[in-house]
Chain A
Amino acid sequence: MSFLAPVAEMLGRAPRRPERYTEAAEIAHGRKRGKGMGATRLLEEIARTAHRHTWRWRRWLVLLSVNGLFTLSYWLDIQVLEGSMTASRLLGFHLADPYSSLLVSLAERRLPVNLIIGAVTISLFWGLVGGRAYCSWVCPYHFVAEFAERLHLWLARRGIVRDHLLHRGVRTLLWAGFAILAFVTGRTLFLTLNPIGILSRAIIYGPSLALLWVAVLLAFEVVYSRRAWCRYVCPVGLTYGLLGMKAPLRVTYDLVRCAHEGECRKVCEVPHVLEMTIKGRSPDVKMDVGPDCTRCGMCIDVCPTESLQFELKGLGGLL
């Protein structure tokens, strides 16, 4: 149950109140009644962490390096990382995006050896490094969407736009839908629409008209629904989420320290994974953030009480 619930939440189920609490959690929740950090002190801490972007800078550095390596491999012909986000070779060794590979195999109705090698390698890598860490640490669309998100929030603060939430189950539906469509029609519609592929190819091989589609998606996110593609559509992200269900690299939550002020949920791309930070919701004093988490570290940066931390399971002491 404790393992399946976060997966069900990733697939679209709304988070629920826990049915049972551990004894330690009961005590921790009990102690918080009427007590806490003190409002003034908390406000000070919030002000202190509001502009802390340690993890964001680290993340952007990695993201830009990886995408830059693709581009340099082509422009300078240094042949380190050839190809693009959907499939590539690292020093000659095949790598492939698992979901794109699945679609191609379904459409083609066979399993090319190099594609299996590539997809398995990538699956193992992200299975260890942390599933959707792909999204925030590598994906070029995530990067541009972060700026669209800022614009959206800026406009929303002024009451010009409003965020419209969608049922998150739609992503699961589309995941299966694109796969079925590929199998039935023999055409990979998703690979045509995939803004990750479009952007990655544009960065490496030069701009294309297809960037207009990316612009449409970003505009939709700015005016209508915050981070819509990443939250409600992207089957690539969901695939990495499923692959990283047991990933040792996690964000962990400390109930005792938490002030429940909710700064983390405001910045999170997938706030449903941080449901336990709501007062009275954490079933245990120490919790792992669910598999839909992109390990972007924004909650860690913004947390005024250091209740959220990166942890490498089994190797915690090293980090």
Chain B
Amino acid sequence: MAARASRRRRRPGRRLSRRQEQRRRILRAAALTVVLWALQPLAALASLRRGARKRLRPPGALEERAFLAACIKCGQCVQVCPVQAPRLADLSDGLGSGSPYLDPRMQACDFSCDALSCILACPTEALSHGVQTKEQVRAGFARLARPDACLARQGKGFRGRARGARFAGRLRYAEIDRWHAIPVRDHPYDRETCDLCVLQCPIGSSALRLVPLDVSGAGGRPRFTPEVRTGCVGCGVCEMICPVEPAAIVVDPRARPKSAYSGDEEGGS
């Protein structure tokens, strides 16, 4: 009662006719529509941000445009992943917000599930059922981004925890437990020449191998270099396990080797 009285006091003589009120409702509705539509270009703009544009997507992801069209943003790929490699993008990814991506340095896809569970879980086939084995995945392509930092190229070995005592990432070590991934920090290494990336690559020598360079390392030690080969699927395990900071080897999302595919693709599609 009091509220009604005070309103009347605040707005003296301002009683709208039915028609006026109706017109206002339509105008407000129109304004709301305009505001919501205006968010489309805004969101599209946010998706153009470099970080958002170059996302490493889970195995089997369709080409980026089709992937974003198809993803229903349910997060089932996150749920089924034994190592929870996919994360969901935030609002800063614009129209990609809520869609899954991988940050391989934090947690790569180690194919712990064997069955590509994320692809099987995806209800919209944004992760394509056409991909049935890990060898068929084409998420990205590894690249030795900082060759000078690479321990193998300096002729150095590696002892200890690959990523320090606090690193939360997990990896399946077949020799320890075939079925469950364990934290990387619980599995120290002792390698005469650092070859962690090659050692842990889930694909094997068709994707990554160590090639001898020369013997000019400190104390005449042999130097090696990791060589990324056409079988690389872009899972990111090499980037995750690389013990130097920042990683010497990285995965370029959706990249493929420049002149790769005429005949030398092993296991082909």
Contact = CB atoms under 8 A, between A and B. Distances in A.
A167 B31 CA distance: 11
Interface in A77-129: 82-89, 94, 96-97, 100-101, 104, 107-108, 112, 114-115, 118
Interface stretch (B32-40, B53-61, B257-265): B32-40
B79 A73 contact: yes
Interface in B233-259: none
B97 to A, nearest CB: 5
B39 A201 contact: no
A205 B78 contact: yes
Nearest to B10: A159
A74 B79 contact: yes
Interface residues of B, number: 47
A170 interface: yes
A164 interface: yes
A201 B90 contact: no
B267 to A, nearest CB: 27
A257 interface: no
Contacts of A228: 32
Contacts of B33: 170, 173-174, 177
B72 A189 contact: no
A210 to B, nearest CB: 4
B95 interface: yes
A174 B36 contact: yes
Contacts of B68: 186-188
B3 A156 contact: yes
Contacts of A97: 72
Nearest to A100: B72
A107 to B, nearest CB: 4
Interface string A153-171: 0001111001011110110
A40 interface: no
B3 A208 contact: no
A160 to B, nearest CB: 9
B165 interface: no
Given A94-B123, A166-B25, A181-B40, A192 B76 contact: no
19 contacts: A82-B121, A87-B72, A87-B123, A89-B76, A101-B72, A112-B123, A159-B7, A159-B10, A162-B7, A166-B32, A167-B22, A169-B29, A177-B33, A182-B69, A201-B73, A210-B90, A210-B97, A232-B29, A232-B32
Interface of A: 73-74, 82-89, 94, 96-97, 100-101, 104, 107-108, 112, 114-115, 118, 156-159, 162, 164-167, 169-170, 173-174, 177, 181-182, 185-189, 191-193, 197-198, 201, 204-205, 208-210, 212-213, 225, 228, 232-233
